[in-house]
């Protein structure tokens, strides 16, 4: 750790040195252009892009309008453009030494200094906490976070009198407005609070106001019951997981990292990046780990095309690299394809140009949820570290507040670079004005958050916790296993409070054994208690169903919704096939074949569904699922195996491995323990025992007609007891 | 042309020289490995891939089994692997000089010489013309085309006695079987015939049998009423278009190019590549032009993921480059990402490595159909030559035989690198055994070939020509216009025989004018005659409908099929909105917005559909369309404008140009001429006149409340007559 620290300080020293050198002898513009030309390619592209934005404005009058419009309107967009301009001009001054950039920052901020003191609360304030430049105070915080960085970068080139005017006219009153003026937001343990205290803290450091810094770090009352340290303790789990999931984690990271960077620069003795065992670094790594093929796992309310290339993570990776010099981060930079306009951005670009990148070690892991790590976990099982290796995501986390979905013990699966067992993400078309102004759609509540929209058990067609977020916040799963041995990566969890009286347990494994020769997924589901129920186990898939012997009826001449509420009203019933003791459902997608083979006396039928019913505004994508359904059962137990196989090239007209290896799945239970036989076409079998008992030393056995099988611990390869 | 010719001969001279040099002083293996290492990167990859396939078999016994199985079975696949082995071993011998490769070819062919003479017709023969090695004779032709190339490459390394045995045992009897033994196939003007005569002609050249060559070039009776020259005249249009469309053109090109290459090598005075004004070269270029983003236009029965990277085109481009040295072909090679294992493959790889590639000039063009160029045309309008520029495909071709669709005057549209106005292609999952053995699905007839599956007019819910291929073959559209001036690229066609008594005309334009600032599409449809009809104009789109003021009813609580036959039975009726005098339908897809704005008093409603009814085996993809429907009308006229706009980035959270420029479309008609006003939000207008009269000099005018507008020729920008 001390070695990491030393490297980090070295990186900052370079930055400080550059600033000092510039203050003493400003580089003449001519030579600066030369420096820009010699920039490493990724950074040169960033410089060029930024200059294309800033340079045309160098000699223009920049409008600083009286705030009037809500989001999307002119004054809103203009103030956004202005903070980008202030930030980028500041960074360009640092990189080129061209005083024209500093001059631009100076005159724009002087205009703000004239405007700001007289501003009342924004005229378009609605049900959000209002700002003064913007309709919601969050945007004011973002304005300050950006502008103070631009200002700090050019301070040495602005006359003292102007600095006084700017600080008195804008930065001090704005910091006051965001702190003591908006105490509820500022002291909240919430993302909006992080932005506010980042703005105030960074301003404090830049203009030398330790009072602002103290408020930011310890809260308005200085007690530490709120403020940055408290947020670092409360908002991330010990493993760096953020309760809302990776989509919001990516967004939330920005202000954390920016303030941390500022603290590190001005107050390095705080060792802020080591705080709480380096939780901020862990949060960056955890976000990257929660991705596949460059896209974030779309759990909870998530826009599915958000990935590692978002500006927040481009920034986050650069800042983290400056602290750790971990060459694996450089391969993420290459994937991102761009760097930020800062010394840290230049540093990663240079390291990439020197060919120092190493593959990022994507790995199986348990990311514990909750400030203390005791509220369940997100478990990721990977078949290998490469981009096209398989990944199984098992969601046994806490609710995740208002953006959380009712999807405890659901799973997602990735294979061959693509999503296979899918999650709908959020019902929202971000920034598409014609779709509810780009906001969350009604179908986000009525479909996307509901249990049936996920790959998990549904009892009596009801969502978990009655689809009530407050109830959901009070309960979370218990992790029963996270373990790897003998080619079997196993995880399991239980939750007892999702439906009254129902105990729901699930074990999932990613198995890579020589008997099969390719990775397969084991899925073991148990629901029991609370009377007789309808049990539905949906699996949402991408692709086209192929014949696997099931005889589907209906869904060809008329479609009706599958149900009336809890998401079922959105599913068309596309046909049903009767089932006894298990079956096989097969589909294929882009050259890969998928067989889900299951054993269960509790499944009466397989129902095929297609999304799109009760959707008058055509807001839903028409995605497909199949549901394993058991009616009027005391309990529901199922053992399933998903086998991905096959390679298919349309260009070269070949199809290989189109036959599955798994012939059948059988389950035998005794004393609450399950033994699953995976029977292969080769004649071989795999026997996996799951005891549902976390004692690692305990021996378990199950009697079968072929003999007694035994294993040790929660689960294991079972063998015939002698 | 003579310059091209000279270059082509030079290329061949190099090849001939290489062969001669090897015959005289075989390169020792050691040095050959060095040569392989120095191969240009693309070719080195091909060599490595081939060696990985061939080398492990060098010391193995290669099975040459008695034919027993149909397609997919062991003996079928083994004989396929064997011809690949013979071909690649031959090519590797040429490239490396390693005699082990020649020895492999020798012993495998000696085994075939033992087996072949005794073979009866294949035991699994079905309703195709049977072969002896394979269940259909087509595969026997392909076997010979490949094997003779491998043999020719190693002849100089095989003792004369073995050569005599091989030629007497395999090549002569097989050539006899494919020519005089299968006269119907051999003399047919059809793709299967091309493979047969390529096999026989190439064999004739290789073993020095001029009788076989003559049969291949002039048919069995030597009259020239069949044979290669006749096929070159009949199967391609003067523009190199192939009546079945680009998907089958790609496949058909292979034997044409292989035999041509053989003729060129042994008989250069025939100048075969100049024959019929260079029709074979034109066919290669025409195939490339019929692509977007690397994928072939999916007209007729086409697998949609087939593109420029198919082995046939990899080969075709290499052969054509050897003849033309056109550097634009090298950019296609780069896109293909691989080269063939032949001297021509090495040549393109070397040219690519030298950085000689130039962008391929994708362009607007009219590809006339029919041997004489008089059976309609496929018209391609492009907004520019780059990969993401827009492309409009207007299909006014002949039927295209059994794989043709009933889609006269339909269109497709590409924008931003993607398909926007879509064509279903074929209902077939190539090589997916679980889907009808990978063959065409029943839904290919019942849906994919039907008129409503395309973006063209449907009269009385009936497909064109009663969906009868023989009837369709007797009629084709008349091209009325193909022209570009004043930023308006215009094409138009008519067909009078698609439905009894109905005259159907359509004009389509790609307009890029400063008044709009971005390319838009004009669509002008006229259907008239034969009594009162229901007129349906479907538009199949990719994306999500957004609100554009239409009030859709229905399709939320129950779905019913839209009709009973001609493809309508497969469409779910997803809601209908009443319309008067026109409307706007808007959708978006991956960051781009599309507005189809139309003016028509003949459209009563807009019907939204989704594919998937009457599909008991889940064979159809769930694609979407909207249908502009007019009921009980004497005629149907419509002017529509498609405006693609907007840029949206989920990663960077911006949406730009989300508002369309086109405010409304108006149509005024007089004396059969149409004047379309495209009203813009800027207040400006565009007036486009379409006279439906091909006389380029004739002046036309239409009276409007705002004055008389006039233009000259079939169509033009119309201006107020003074």
B35 CA to chain A: closest CA distance, Å?
A: 28
CA distance B246 to A414: 34
Among this protein's residues, is A83 annotated catalytic? no
pLDDT of residue B4 exceeding 60, the answer is no
User: Catalytic residue at A248?
Assistant: yes
Q: Which residue of B has its CA nearest to A559?
A: B559
Catalytic residue among B79, B122, B403, B533: B403
The ipTM of this complex is 0.88
B214-251 tens-digit pLDDT: 999 999 999 999 999 999 999 999 999 999 999 999 98
Confidence of residue B715 (pLDDT cuts 50, 70, 90): very high
Q: Is the pLDDT of residue A368 over 90?
A: yes
Average pLDDT over residues B75-96: 96
User: How close is the nearest chain B Cα to the Cα of A82, in Å?
Assistant: 16
Of A430, A560, A615, the CB nearest to B558: A560
Across the interface, do B614 and A435 touch by the CB < 8 Å criterion?
A: no
The structure tokens listed for A35 are 């420096």
Name the band, by pLDDT with cuts 50, 70 and 90, for residue B654: low
Residue A306 and residue B655: Cβ atoms within 8 Å?
no
Give the three-class secondary structure for B691.
Answer: coil
H/E element, B287: helix B275-289
* pLDDT value for A17: 28
- Considering only CB atoms, B650 lies closest to which of A430, A612, A617, namely A430
The dihedral built from the CA positions of residue B466, B467, B470 and B471, taken in this order, carries a sign that is positive
Residue B301 CB contacts under 8 Å (≥ 6 apart), including other chains: B244, B247, B248, B403, B404, B405, B425, B426, B428, B440, B444, B448, B449
Q: How many CA atoms lie within 13 A of B638 on its CB side?
A: 32
Q: Which pLDDT belongs to residue B474?
A: 97
Would the CB atoms of A658 and B433 count as touching at under 8 Å? yes
What pLDDT is attached to residue A721? 84
**pLDDT greater than 60 at residue B660:** yes
Among A423-432, B330-339, B689-698, which stretch is predicted with the lowest mean pLDDT?
A: A423-432
The continuous run of DSSP H or E covering A584 comes out as strand A583-589
What pLDDT does A430 receive? 82
| Adjacent-strand bridge partners of B510 | B489, B521
Distance CA B573, CA B562 (A): 5
Q: Is there a contact between A431 and B654 if contact means CB atoms under 8 Å apart?
A: yes
Region of B355 please: left (phi>0), alpha (psi -120 to 50) or beta: left
CB atoms within 10 A of CB B657: 15
pLDDT above 90 for B493: yes
Indicate the average pLDDT of chain B: 92
User: What average pLDDT does the segment B640-653 reach?
Assistant: 80
Q: Mean pLDDT throughout B283-307?
A: 96
pLDDT, position B508: 98
For residues B2 and B321, the answer to whether their CB atoms sit within 8 Å is: no
Model confidence pLDDT, tens digit, residues B452-472: 999 999 999 999 999 999 999
- A557–B561 CB contact, under 8 Å: yes
Q: Average pLDDT for residues A334-353, to the nearest whole number?
A: 95
A309 to chain B, closest Cα gap in Å: 6
Residue A349 has a pLDDT of: 97
Tens of pLDDT, residues A189-221: 888 899 999 999 999 999 999 999 999 999 999
Of A309, A435, A622, nearest to B610 by CB-CB distance is A622
Q: Which of A317, A559, A621 to mutate: most B Cβ within 10 Å? A: A559
| Percent of chain A residues topping a pLDDT of 90 | 87
Residue B15: what pLDDT? Answer: 27
DSSP H helical ranges for A55-98: 74-96
Q: What is the mean pLDDT of residues A136-164?
A: 97
**Nearest CB to B309 within list A572, A648, A651:** A651
In percent, the amount of chain B with pLDDT more than 70 equals: 94
pLDDT confidence tier of residue B439, bands split at 50, 70 and 90: confident
How do residues A514-538 score in pLDDT, each as one tens digit?
999 999 999 999 999 999 999 999 9
Give chain A's largest Cα–Cα span: 92
Q: Dihedral of CA B187/B188/B190/B191: which sign?
A: negative
Mutant choice from A71, A312, A336, A544 vs B, greatest count of B C-beta within 10 A: A544
Residue B649 is predicted with a pLDDT of 64
pLDDT at B21 over 50: no
Which of B205, B242, B248, B414 is catalytic? The answer is: B248
Computed over every residue of chain A, the mean pLDDT equals: 92
A608·B618 Cβ contact <8 A: yes
| From A310, A546, A572, residue closest to B559, measured CB to CB | A572
How many angstroms separate the CA atoms of B587 and B543, rounded? 6
- Chain B residues lying within 8 Å of A561, measured CB to CB: 557
In terms of CA atoms, which chain B residue is nearest residue A618?
Answer: B545
**Local confidence band at A652 (pLDDT 50, 70, 90 cut-offs):** low
Mean pLDDT of A363-380: 98
Contact yes or no for A366/A479 (Cβ under 8 A): yes
Judge whether residue B2 has pLDDT over 70: no
Contact B545 A618 (CB under 8 A): yes
A170 has pLDDT over 90: yes
What's the rounded mean pLDDT across residues A363-392? 96
A431/B653 CB distance under 8 A: yes
pLDDT at position A70 is 83
Give chain A positions within 8 Å (CB) of B572.
559
Of B306, B556, B586, the CB nearest to A434: B586
Looking at A205, A241, A248, A594, which residue is catalytic?
A248
Q: How many CB pairs under 8 A join A and B?
A: 128
Query: Which entry of A403, A405, A540, A645 is annotated as an active-site residue?
Result: A403
Give the pLDDT of residue A526.
98
Domains of chain A as residue ranges with CATH: 238-361 (no CATH), 365-720 (2.70.98.70)
Judged by CB atoms closer than 8 Å, whether chains meet at A434 and B557 is answered as no
Q: Do A559 and B557 touch (CB under 8 A)?
A: no
Integer Cα distance of B407 and B458 in angstroms: 9
């Amino acid at each position: 750790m001390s070695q990491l620290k030393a490297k980090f300080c070295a990186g900052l020293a370079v930055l400080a040195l550059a600033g000092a050198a510039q203050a003493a002898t400003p580089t003449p513009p001519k030579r600066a252009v030369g420096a820009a030309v010699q920039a490493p390619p990724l950074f040169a592209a960033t410089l060029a892009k930024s200059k294309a934005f800033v340079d045309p404005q160098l000699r223009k009058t920049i409008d600083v309008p009286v705030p009037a419009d809500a989001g999307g309107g002119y004054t809103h967009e203009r103030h956004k453009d202005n903070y980008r301009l202030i930030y980028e001009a500041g960074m360009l001054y640092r990189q080129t030494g061209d005083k024209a950039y500093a001059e631009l920052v100076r005159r724009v901020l002087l205009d703000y200094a004239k405007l700001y003191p007289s501003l009342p609360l924004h005229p378009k304030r609605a049900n959000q906490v209002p700002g003064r430049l913007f309709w919601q105070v969050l945007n004011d915080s973002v304005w300050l976070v950006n502008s103070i960085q631009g200002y700090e970068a050019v301070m040495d080139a602005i006359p003292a009198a102007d600095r006084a005017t700017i600080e008195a006219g804008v930065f001090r009153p704005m910091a006051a407005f965001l702190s003591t003026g908006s105490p509820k937001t500022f002291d909240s343990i919430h993302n909006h609070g992080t932005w506010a205290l980042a703005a105030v803290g960074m301003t404090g450091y830049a203009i030398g106001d330790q009072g602002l810094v103290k408020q930011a770090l310890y809260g308005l009352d200085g007690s530490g019951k709120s403020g940055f340290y408290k947020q670092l303790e409360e908002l991330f789990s010990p493993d760096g997981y953020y309760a809302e999931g990776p989509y919001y984690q990516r967004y939330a990271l920005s202000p954390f990292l920016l303030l941390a960077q500022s603290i590190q620069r001005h107050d390095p003795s705080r060792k802020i990046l080591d705080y709480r065992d380096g939780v901020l670094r862990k949060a960056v790594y955890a976000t990257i780990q929660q991705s596949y093929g460059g896209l974030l796992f779309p759990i909870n309310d998530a826009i599915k095309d958000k990935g590692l290339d978002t500006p927040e993570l481009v920034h986050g990776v650069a800042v983290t690299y400056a602290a750790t010099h971990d060459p694996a981060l450089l391969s993420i930079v290459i994937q991102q394809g761009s760097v930020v306009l800062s010394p840290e951005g230049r540093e990663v670009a240079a390291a990439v140009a020197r060919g120092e990148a190493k593959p990022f070690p994507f790995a199986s892991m348990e990311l514990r949820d909750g400030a203390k790590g005791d509220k369940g976990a997100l478990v990721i099982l990977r078949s290998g570290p490469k981009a096209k290796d398989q990944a199984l995501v098992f969601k046994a986390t806490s609710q995740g507040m208002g953006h959380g979905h009712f999807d405890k013990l659901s799973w997602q699966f990735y294979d061959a670079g693509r999503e296979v067992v899918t999650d709908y993400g959020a019902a929202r078309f971000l920034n598409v004005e014609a779709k509810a102004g780009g906001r969350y759609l009604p179908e986000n509540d009525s479909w996307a958050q509901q249990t049936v929209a996920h790959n998990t058990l549904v009892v009596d067609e009801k969502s978990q916790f009655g689809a009530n977020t407050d109830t959901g916040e009070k309960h979370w799963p218990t992790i029963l296993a996270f373990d790897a041995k003998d080619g079997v990566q196993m995880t399991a969890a239980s939750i007892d409070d999702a439906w009254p009286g129902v105990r729901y347990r699930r074990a999932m494994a990613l198995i890579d054994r020589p008997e099969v020769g390719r990775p397969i997924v084991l899925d073991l589901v148990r629901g029991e208690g609370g009377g007789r129920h309808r049990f539905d186990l949906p699996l949402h898939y991408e692709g086209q169903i192929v014949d696997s012997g099931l005889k589907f009826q209906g869904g060809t001449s008329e479609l009706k919704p599958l149900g009336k509420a809890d998401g079922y009203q959105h599913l068309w019933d596309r046909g049903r096939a009767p089932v006894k003791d298990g079956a096989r459902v097969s589909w294929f997608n882009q050259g890969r074949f998928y067989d889900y083979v299951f054993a269960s006396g509790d499944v009466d039928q397989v129902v095929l569904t297609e999304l799109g019913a009760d959707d008058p505004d055509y807001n839903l994508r028409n995605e497909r699922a199949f549901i394993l359904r058991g009616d009027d059962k005391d309990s529901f137990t199922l053992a399933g195996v998903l086998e991905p196989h096959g390679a298919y090239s349309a260009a070269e007209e070949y199809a290989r491995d189109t036959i599955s290896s798994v012939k059948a799945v059988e389950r035998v239970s005794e004393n609450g323990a399950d033994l699953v036989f995976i029977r292969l076409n080769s004649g071989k079998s795999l026997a996996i025992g799951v005891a549902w008992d976390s004692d690692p030393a305990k021996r378990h056995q199950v009697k079968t007609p072929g003999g007694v099988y035994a294993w040790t611990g929660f689960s294991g390869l079972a063998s015939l007891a002698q």
